[in-house]
Structure 1
Amino acid sequence: MYLEDLDPNASLTDHLTRLLTRNVMLDDAGALLRDQLSEPRNYATLVENIASGFTRLSDIARMSGMEDGAASKYLGVLKKLGVVERAVPATVTRPAQSKLGRYRIVDPYLRFYYRFIWPNRTLIASGRLDVPLATLQQHLHEFVGKHSFEELCREWVLDYAGSGQLGFVPRRIGSFWRSRSGETSGMEIDVMAINEDEHEMLIGECKFTREAIGASVVRKLIEDKTPLVDIDMSKKWTIRYAFFSRSGFSSDARTAAKRFDCEFVDLTRLERDLRKS
């Protein structure tokens, strides 16, 4: 429905303004929860906090003013409805038992709505669009890069593996992160495909920025992040790398990757390959 309003000659700001001034945009997602749930405000609070970047159960519960048990109950309902999912690092073989679970919103529309529309609904309803538009313009590229772009990159890996070009059949494709404790606080890997039986793995970095990926990004992934992955390093692993970039790659980046098995995927290649699938 919203795609019908897109004008290829209009600016991004014009599109966002048009969407924000449509009353149906303000209420569609809220109606989805109200129509299916008896306590929609509690559920909306949880989803809003996930959209704002609080993805661990304890953080979601704290920000929502709930006990962990209550938040877990509500999240379980949202999982059954397909609104959220609980993800674990791609190295985890028993997801239900992992303490590294993170919740994320499944549907891109709901993800966008609860990140940008719901928190500003009062301002938008009153026609005061300056603050919502400024927030959108400041954070939209980061939002797209963190969610939609990374998802497309993982889809590319799935298709690449399915065509036989990856060199192994992944058991799982996802991402990777370490717990916040200790020296590995905040370490994340955007894309990971793994087959622990064959000791094969692909590790990928995604950058949806206006700058080309440089040598420092390549070295950080290969030299700094890879040794921190939770795998049995007593085995001989074959590790491949993939770099995904909105703005291409510097010559230094390609030089830094020469000694390794690397794929470089820009937007043109990403779109072309996904269209083939």
Structure 2
Amino acid sequence: MERRAPVTQVERSRLGRYHITDPYLRFYYRFLANRQTQLALGVQEQSLAEIKRHLRDFIGANTWEEICREWLLRASANHTLPFVVDQVGSAWTRGAQVDVVGINSMEKLLVLGECKWGLEPVGRSVLTAVVDKTAEVTPSQGQWQVYYLGFARDGWTAASHAFAQEIADSPPGGKNWRALGMRLLDLSQVDQDLTAWVS
């Protein structure tokens, strides 16, 4: 077990949540723990149906997000991003949640990323939603520069790429933040990068 706080908040934040860090135990408690009697009796069809029905969401909400956070940390260390981040995690408030967040508190730099594990290219609305959450998750002290990342298993639509170009050409901003740009990645690019960086 591990207590995680939003990376944009102090460690003692009341918004902290507890997570099971071991992937096997996460899978076990999500899909198998409540079905021990069925499994002991050899009645596996119902358990297998439950796993098939929810496995994609489970991977998207756990494994894929963790891989994307690792990509951000390693991309920062390999100078693939416009700046270096000190911490990587996620951020949430009562009204918003961002899957991948990197922060450099000294330089007032923030990376906000959204992760999708769907079976088709992801549309522009996911990207506009993460930009709309910026004001809510950006720390209130200081003037921040924000860079956006989009992680989608099967890539992004043409409209999404056009939106990323709009962010670069005419960066949005708010009371205490200004956008730096946006980068979109798919599973094959994330895999290729991580393979190169870990080797």
TM-score, normalised via structure 2 length: 0.89
The answer to whether 1:237 aligns with 2:157 is no
User: How far apart are residue 168 of structure 1 and its match?
Assistant: 2.1
User: How far apart are residue 98 of structure 1 and its match?
Assistant: 1.3
2:188 aligns to what SS in structure 1? helix
**Corresponding residue for 1:143?**
58
Alpha-carbon distance in 1 for matches of 2:112, 2:58: 22
User: How far apart are residue 114 of structure 1 and its match?
Assistant: 1.1
> Which residue among 144, 154, 158 is the counterpart of 2:73?
158
> Which residue among 240, 249, 255 is the counterpart of 2:156?
249
The answer to whether 1:133 aligns with 2:40 is no
Alpha-carbon distance in 1 for matches of 2:144, 2:4: 24
Going by fraction, where is helix more abundant, 1 or 2? 1
Count of residues in Structure 1 that have an aligned counterpart in Structure 2: 184
Q: Which runs of 5+ in 2 are unaligned?
A: 168-180
Alpha-carbon distance in 1 for matches of 2:89, 2:70: 10
> Which residue among 114, 124, 140 is the counterpart of 1:205?
114
Q: Where do residues 1-277 of structure 1 align in structure 2 (5 Å cutoff)?
A: 84-93=1-10, 95=11, 97-179=12-94, 184=95, 187-222=96-131, 224-232=132-140, 235-260=142-167, 261-277=181-197
| 1:35-60 deviation per Cα after TM superposition (whole angstroms, max 9, x unaligned) | xxxxxxxxxxxxxxxxxxxxxxxxxx
Alpha-carbon distance in 2 for matches of 1:241, 1:109: 31
Alpha-carbon distance in 1 for matches of 2:136, 2:48: 39
1:258 aligns to what SS in structure 2? helix
**Greater length-normalized contact order (CA 8 Å, ≥ 6 residues apart):** 2
Alpha-carbon distance in 2 for matches of 1:262, 1:129: 45
Amino acid at match of 1:115: R
The share of aligned pairs that are identical, in percent, is 38
Is contact 2:164–2:183 with CA below 8 Å preserved after alignment?
no
Alpha-carbon distance in 2 for matches of 1:122, 1:225: 44
User: How far apart are residue 230 of structure 1 and its match?
Assistant: 4.0
Alpha-carbon distance in 2 for matches of 1:86, 1:211: 33
| 1:142-192 deviation per Cα after TM superposition (whole angstroms, max 9, x unaligned) | 00010000000000001100011222221210001113xxxx2xx210000
User: How far apart are residue 212 of structure 1 and its match?
Assistant: 1.3
Alpha-carbon distance in 2 for matches of 1:171, 1:249: 28
Alpha-carbon distance in 2 for matches of 1:161, 1:275: 15
Amino acid at match of 2:74: D
Amino acid at match of 2:23: P
Alpha-carbon distance in 2 for matches of 1:273, 1:266: 11
Q: Which runs of 4+ in 1 moved over 6 A?
A: none
Amino acid at match of 1:138: R
Going by fraction, where is strand more abundant, 1 or 2? 2
Alpha-carbon distance in 1 for matches of 2:108, 2:32: 44
In our comparison, the structure showing a higher alpha carbon Rg is 1
Amino acid at match of 2:137: V
